[in-house]
Structure 1
Amino acid sequence: MACRGFCRACGRDHQLHENGARRHGLELMELLRTRRSLDLGAAATDSAPRLSTDWLYGEARGKMFGVLECLAPDGSTRILRAFSGQYNGLWEIDGWAPPLFDSRQLAAITAATEAEIKELGAALAYAGDPEDRRTLRRRRRQLSQDLMRRIHGLYRLTNFHGREASLFAAATNGSGIPTGTGDCCAPKLLNLAARSNLVPLGLAEFFWGRSNRSGTREEGRFYPSCAEKCAAILGFMLCGVEGSHAGPAA
């Protein structure tokens, strides 16, 4: 099973299998291997250096990638692609599923707060009085928590009934939303499909690049959608996906 989750809105579990998406995942692996870039539309010699897959083999290490096979309204097959989180500092790259928020709004709300957090960190380094240090730490922690709530407030999730919800409303784990929830491949792909009037047929996610530090991800291997972060919202996002094109794997 590629992904699943419980939807609070309808009180049911929803799921989507891999089905034929693995083949498209293998095709994407080959593209990444041969082109060595996420700029899949440009000639190999013209691709932007920032999109080079060399980044995946350095200190940043590898990343999850995903493909969603979909049925378009005209009966044709559409393949959507996504990478988890940011790629080399970029939230949006042509040809890849966008994040669940407006990246310009994200930049606007984070700039001022992050500058203040850094100032508090600098002040903390010079503060000698224990009470001053405690006050600075509390202020910095509060700013970070407030910023995370504002960031989470930017996310807009759409399901296959055409309903939209905030991250807080969609999540089944209440207010305890882990950092990075909604940034994985499955939420990006499902959101784009729902907003584009596409019917998901199958989903596959794989790891590409240098293995992660914990050794739980290896290049070229397929993995189910993460249970730690995104399972809490996948139930809402998959709601309405059931039908003849999203049945059990053959």
Structure 2
Amino acid sequence: MQLDINSGSHGSMTGRLLEEIEKICLTEQPNRLMIYGDTNSTLAGALTASKRHIPVAHIEAELCSFNMRMPEEINRILTDQVSDILFCPTDTAVKNLNNEGFANKPVQVLNVGDVMQNSSMFFAERAVKGEALNHVPAINFIVATLHRAENTDDPVRLKAIVDALNYIHKNILPVVLPLHPRTQKVVKSLGLTLEMLVLEPVGYLEMIWLLKHCSAVVSDSGGVQKEAFFFKNPCITMIDQIEWV
């Protein structure tokens, strides 16, 4: 089921998600809610389930940045606190939970490895260059993504990133940028010009194809940073702190 809740503020998105997820829980009466990551939908699912006394299992638990200015950090901390099964992708994540006292709580902490890697490797064999990628070179290009608030909400920082990507596109290798709708609005409002190959947001299979066939990645996404690593591509990560170390 697609709730189609996006492009709002953190408060409005989380509030709407709480309302819609609760409707689903009341209709479906699940035995457990399994949630993934550290997004606003992750937090909304955890809060909804815990208030309805539905057990919560959290995948990618305890990937902390120790930076409370990051919305993802707040989402992660609160989600872990109301979950009774915590699926960790790394030894570091298990250690972080133990340091926060979870070893003494009535919860299961399990190191199950990274399901995102499993997914990337599985679908990489099925990803094809679809119609959305018609204008993308077959090889020798750079994939960029740009959506984090610390970049898009800082006009000076955003302009510096856009200028750098424009320079790379004109002087080094073509830059392919699937553009996040919120970023697009900010770029337009600031009068910035994107002199690169800008795409509408692409689907998962198209993104996997791009990451598998590119020469390098420039991104502020923790997930894209990981996928670049999975496909053995160099990645410049455009954020000051990241959960994946």
TM-score bucket (shorter structure) = under 0.3
Larger RCO: 1 or 2 (CA < 8 Å, sep 6+): 1
Higher helix share: 2
TM score, norm. by length of structure 1: 0.20
